[in-house]
């Protein structure tokens, strides 16, 4: 019987292992969603609720420009709508990143700058993107300005908070090291301070991008006559659910593509010194190696403990 232990796994148990693997689970998920979708479709028997096939058909027509729908005189198809939204997002994103980084740096470095901006940042953070969208549409009309401002105001508090935390988490023990070796200030800034800020900066970028995207769509629904958000509303007004769902899926696909094709490679490049790190760990701004050392260094500071810690072979066994 002992030889049986080392024999190859049976056909059945291999099958079970394949079925239980995470990859199988991941692949199964879309099928599950589509099955559920069909179940609901047949259960509610609605004339408006579309089948997945109808949505796919719609998306194909949009991509190949065969639907024949002209949205408006300005933006007649998917690509133009997307281009307008991306241009607005990009502009708002860069302004939010630049201003947010400057304010975050100021708040991290100086207590009075922090006090000056603090309540304002909390207030902006608490404001829903919808309110910005409505307010800017009323104030500036249905042009490009309102959506861009919404992107900026929705994203900037996250940039400020992340950059400020980054500055506060500057690895003091590495800077002390550099000072002990009399490394000049500008080299310390470039090689110690800025790299230590990078995880926080990347987290800020991801937030500004994803929150900005959501803010933009809301702003375009309520305060624009072109763009992705407006197109979703166009299909909503036309009572065509396949249009709403189709554009929502375009939106998700684009967001995922940008994440995989731009942010992930950028992060991999910037953090190649941490090979095991993936994008989601980075977003947490975790800096375990350095902070651990920080704790160790603090141990020997004055007046912390009264015990004679670690005196090897101390008086008791001397």
Partner 1 sequence: MADIKVQNLQKEFGVGEDRVVALENVNLAISGHVFVSIVGPSGCGKSTLLNILSGIETPSSGTVTITQDSHDAEPGYVFQAARLLPWRTVMDNLMFVQREKDAAARERCQRYLDMVQLGDKGDKYPGELSGGMQQRVGIARAFSIEPDVLFMDEPFSHLDAITARSLRRELHQMWVKTKKTVLFVTHDVGEAVELSNRILVFAKGGVLKDDLNVELPFPRDPSDDAVAVAKAQVLRKFEELDLVAS
Binding residues vs partner 1 (CB under 8 A): 173-174, 176-183, 187, 191-192, 195, 198, 271, 273-275, 289-290, 293, 296-297, 299-315, 318
Between residues 22 and 318, which has the closer beta carbon with respect to partner 1?
318
Between residues 238 and 296, which has the closer beta carbon with respect to partner 1?
296
Minimum distance from residue 270 beta carbon to partner 1 (Å) = 9
Between residues 16 and 187, which has the closer beta carbon with respect to partner 1?
187
User: Maximum Cα–Cα distance for the chain, whole Å?
Assistant: 94
Calpha distance 71→230 (Å, rounded): 10
Minimum distance from residue 303 beta carbon to partner 1 (Å) = 5
Minimum distance from residue 174 beta carbon to partner 1 (Å) = 6
Cβ partners under 8 Å of residue 167, min gap 6: 104, 105, 107, 108, 109, 197
Between residues 64 and 305, which has the closer beta carbon with respect to partner 1?
305
Minimum distance from residue 272 beta carbon to partner 1 (Å) = 8
Between residues 153 and 200, which has the closer beta carbon with respect to partner 1?
200
Calpha distance 43→61 (Å, rounded): 28
Minimum distance from residue 179 beta carbon to partner 1 (Å) = 6
Minimum distance from residue 165 beta carbon to partner 1 (Å) = 18
Between residues 45 and 312, which has the closer beta carbon with respect to partner 1?
312
Q: What φ, ψ does residue 137 adopt, rounded to 5°?
A: -65, -45
Between residues 76 and 293, which has the closer beta carbon with respect to partner 1?
293
Between residues 52 and 294, which has the closer beta carbon with respect to partner 1?
294
What the block records as the tokens of 34 is: 């589509």
Minimum distance from residue 51 beta carbon to partner 1 (Å) = 51
Per-residue 3-state assignment (H helix, E strand, C coil) for the chain: CHHHHCCCCCHHHHHHHHHHCHHHHHHHHHHHHHHHHHHHHHHHCCCCCCCHHHHHHHHHHHHHCCCCCCCCCCCCCHHHHHHHHHHHHHHHHHHHHHHHHHHHHHHHHCHHHHHHHHHHHHHHHHCCHHHHHHHHHHHHCCCCHHHHHHHHHHHHHHHHHHHHHHHHCCCHHHHHHHHHCCCCHHHHHHHHHHHHHHHHHHHHHHHHHHHHHHHHHHHHHHHCCCCHHHHHHHHHHCCCHHHHHHHHHHHHHHHHHHHHHHHHHHHHHHCCCCCCCCHHHHHCCCCHHHHHHHHHHHCCCCCCCCCCCCCCCCHHHC
Between residues 248 and 279, which has the closer beta carbon with respect to partner 1?
279
Calpha distance 70→76 (Å, rounded): 5
């Amino acid at each position: 019987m002992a030889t049986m232990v080392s024999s190859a796994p049976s056909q059945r148990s291999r099958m079970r292992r394949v079925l239980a693997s995470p990859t199988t689970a991941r692949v199964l998920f879309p099928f599950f969603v589509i099955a559920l979708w069909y179940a609901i479709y047949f259960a509610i028997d609605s004339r408006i609720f579309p089948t997945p096939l109808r949505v796919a058909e719609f998306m194909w027509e949009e991509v190949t420009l065969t639907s024949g729908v002209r949205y408006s005189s300005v933006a007649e198809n998917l690509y133009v709508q997307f281009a307008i939204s991306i241009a607005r997002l990009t502009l708002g994103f860069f302004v939010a990143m630049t201003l947010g980084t400057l304010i975050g740096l100021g708040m991290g470095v100086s207590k009075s700058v922090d006090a000056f901006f603090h309540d304002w940042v909390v207030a902006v953070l608490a404001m829903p993107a919808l309110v910005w969208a409505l307010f800017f549409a009323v104030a500036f009309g249905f042009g490009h300005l309102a959506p861009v401002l919404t992107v900026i105001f929705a994203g900037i508090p996250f940039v400020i908070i992340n950059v400020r935390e980054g500055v506060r988490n500057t690895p003091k023990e590495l800077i002390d090291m550099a000072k002990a070796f009399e490394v000049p200030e500008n080299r310390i800034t470039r090689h110690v301070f800025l790299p230590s800020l990078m995880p926080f900066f990347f987290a800020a970028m991801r937030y500004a991008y994803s929150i900005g995207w959501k803010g933009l769509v809301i702003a375009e629904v309520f305060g624009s006559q072109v763009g992705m958000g407006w197109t979703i509303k166009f299909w909503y007004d036309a009572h065509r659910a396949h249009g709403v769902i189709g554009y929502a899926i375009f939106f998700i696909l684009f967001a995922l593509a940008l994440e995989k094709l731009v942010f992930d490679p950028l992060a991999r490049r910037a953090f190649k010194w941490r090979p095991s790190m993936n994008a989601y760990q980075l977003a947490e701004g975790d800096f375990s190696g350095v902070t651990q050392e920080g704790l160790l260094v603090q141990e020997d500071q004055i007046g912390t403990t009264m015990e004679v810690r670690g005196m090897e072979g101390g008086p008791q066994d001397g």
